[in-house]
């Protein structure tokens, strides 16, 4: 259930990232078209004014020419900054795609690991079928002589419970990681709102440009009749010039505001890139920890195989020396000391495994399978639960009466019934 939930949330995060990339590319394409239209309109206005001005008003239009040069320089600067913003948006899109790929990667590795582990457990269960009948007889004889093993079982159960708690904490960390991806989508929505405000400001700029063109046309018509006009008409022309200057100042103020908003957008994009790089680094660290965990698991499997071989050898020795009680007792003490040493090694390995499990998000199912396998191997030597073997070679559960072909499967089922 947890893997399905993580997969669904990762898919939603990937869809949100793809939508953001498509929207950012469309908006950059629209901004390029708007900038080209503005440059063409400004050039056409300059050519019309130069053709229509008379020698008398050329002196008045010198200042306006300087202002236009400043505006054109500002546009050129804006146009130079557009490719940088394009590059930053493309880089941010690549980083988001790589982040989504990394989010989806551990799920595949988790499935492969689980399949390999289940195959190993099934193979070990098949090997144990041949020695189960002999082990059941020895368990009856050894049960009252090994009281320490029950205490060791309780300690193992406590450690397993602590491992389950740590695995739950790792699941919470995975949820926080995906919540962080969704929070990035909300930040992208805020950026889109700021860009919408910028488009509104540009629309106001276009409106002011249209009004400016109308004022320039009126000024040109008045300039043609300037020689024949009276002093009142000349005052009217001056008043219109003042209004034109006021409109230009308003236009420059709006342009400054738009530049400030663009700088704010760039700052927010840089923050988004920093967050994406931080998540990528965290994911790399988690992958390294996962590889270390797999190495430790292989070591544990090898140690389990060694324990099985040693137990088989001890069982053979006990069967051969069963007549002599004193010699059998000495071998039993030697076997118990060896088992204690092996269990100490297993504790050390489990401690190392606990350190690795703190940073691995999908270890709950794996550790539970390993716990059950170890519990079955340890319980073969001193369990008191036995089953009657009918003539057909099947085993029945002493609690519910279910039939099983192997003693190991029946013991696993009996543990579930007791739970």
Q: Give every CB contact of residue 149 below 8 A, 6+ residues apart in sequence.
A: 378, 381, 382
Residues 270 and 214 sit within 8 Å (Cβ to Cβ): no
Residues 196 and 387 sit within 8 Å (Cβ to Cβ): no
pLDDT, position 4: 63
Q: Does 62 map to a domain?
A: yes
pLDDT, position 404: 75
Which residue, among 35, 19, 146, 150, has the nearest Cα to 82 in the 3D structure? 35
Domain count of the chain? 1
Residues 171 and 364 sit within 8 Å (Cβ to Cβ): yes
Residues forming a β-bridge with 403: 396
Q: Which 3 state secondary structure label does DSSP give 410?
A: helix
Please provide the DSSP assignment of 315-333 as one string.
HHHHHHTSS-HHHHHHHHH
d(CA 167, CA 371): 14
Q: Does 354 map to a domain?
A: yes
pTM score of the predicted model: 0.22
Q: Does 223 map to a domain?
A: yes
d(CA 169, CA 235): 80
d(CA 71, CA 78): 10
Average confidence (pLDDT) per 10 residues, the chain, 419 residues: 61 62 59 61 55 45 47 44 47 52 44 39 45 46 52 80 85 76 79 87 89 86 72 78 88 88 88 87 86 86 86 78 68 78 82 71 59 68 43 65 74 69
Q: Does 391 map to a domain?
A: no
Residues 272 and 187 sit within 8 Å (Cβ to Cβ): yes
d(CA 239, CA 411): 102
Please provide the DSSP assignment of 149-192 as one string.
HHHHHHHHHHHHHHHHHHHHHHHHHHHHHHHHHHHHHHHHHHHH
**Element spanning 295, H or E:** helix 231-320
State which residues form the domain around 80. 2-384
Q: Does 396 map to a domain?
A: no
pLDDT, position 114: 39
Structure-block tokens of residue 193? 């709102």
Q: Does 150 map to a domain?
A: yes
d(CA 249, CA 253): 6
Q: Does 166 map to a domain?
A: yes
pLDDT, position 97: 52
d(CA 184, CA 195): 17
Q: Which 3 state secondary structure label does DSSP give 396?
A: strand
Q: Does 349 map to a domain?
A: yes
């Amino acid at each position: 259930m947890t893997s399905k939930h993580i997969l669904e949330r990762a898919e939603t995060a990937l869809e949100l990232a793809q939508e953001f990339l498509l929207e950012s590319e469309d908006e950059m394409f629209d901004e390029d078209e708007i900038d080209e239209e503005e440059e063409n309109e400004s050039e056409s206005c300059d050519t019309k004014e130069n053709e229509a001005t008379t020698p008398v008003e050329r002196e008045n239009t010198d200042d306006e020419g300087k202002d236009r040069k400043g505006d054109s320089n500002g546009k050129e600067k804006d146009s130079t900054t557009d490719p940088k913003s394009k590059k930053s948006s493309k880089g941010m899109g690549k980083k988001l795609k790589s982040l989504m790929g990394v989010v989806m990667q551990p799920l595949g590795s988790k499935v492969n690991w689980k399949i390999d582990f289940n195959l190993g457990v099934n193979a070990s269960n098949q090997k144990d079928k041949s020695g189960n009948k002999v082990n059941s007889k020895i368990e009856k004889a050894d049960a009252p002589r090994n009281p320490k093993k029950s205490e060791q079982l309780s300690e193992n159960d406590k450690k397993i419970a602590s491992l389950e708690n740590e695995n739950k904490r790792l699941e919470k960390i995975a949820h926080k990681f995906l919540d962080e991806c969704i929070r990035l989508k909300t930040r992208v929505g805020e950026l889109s709102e700021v860009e919408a405000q910028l488009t509104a400001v540009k629309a106001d700029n276009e409106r002011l440009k249209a009004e400016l063109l109308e004022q320039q046309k009126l000024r040109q018509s008045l300039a043609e009749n300037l020689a024949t006009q009276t002093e009142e008409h000349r005052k009217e022309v001056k008043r219109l010039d003042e209004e034109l200057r006021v409109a230009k100042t308003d236009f420059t103020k709006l342009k400054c505001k738009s530049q400030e908003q663009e700088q704010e957008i760039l700052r927010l994009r840089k923050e988004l890139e920093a967050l994406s790089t931080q998540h990528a680094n965290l994911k790399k660290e988690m992958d390294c920890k996962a590889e270390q965990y797999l190495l430790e698991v292989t070591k544990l499997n090898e140690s389990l195989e060694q324990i099985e071989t040693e137990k088989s050898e001890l069982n053979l020795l006990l069967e051969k020396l069963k007549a002599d009680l004193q010699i059998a007792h000495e071998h039993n003490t030697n076997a118990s000391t060896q088992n204690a040493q092996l269990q100490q090694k297993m504790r050390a390995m489990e401690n190392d495994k606990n350190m690795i499990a703190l940073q691995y998000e999908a270890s709950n199912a794996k550790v539970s399978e390993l716990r059950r396998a170890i519990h079955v191997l340890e319980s073969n030597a001193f369990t008191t639960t036995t089953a009657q073997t009918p003539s057909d070679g099947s085993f029945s559960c002493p609690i519910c009466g279910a039939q099983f072909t192997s003693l190991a499967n029946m013991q696993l089922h009996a543990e579930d019934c007791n739970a």
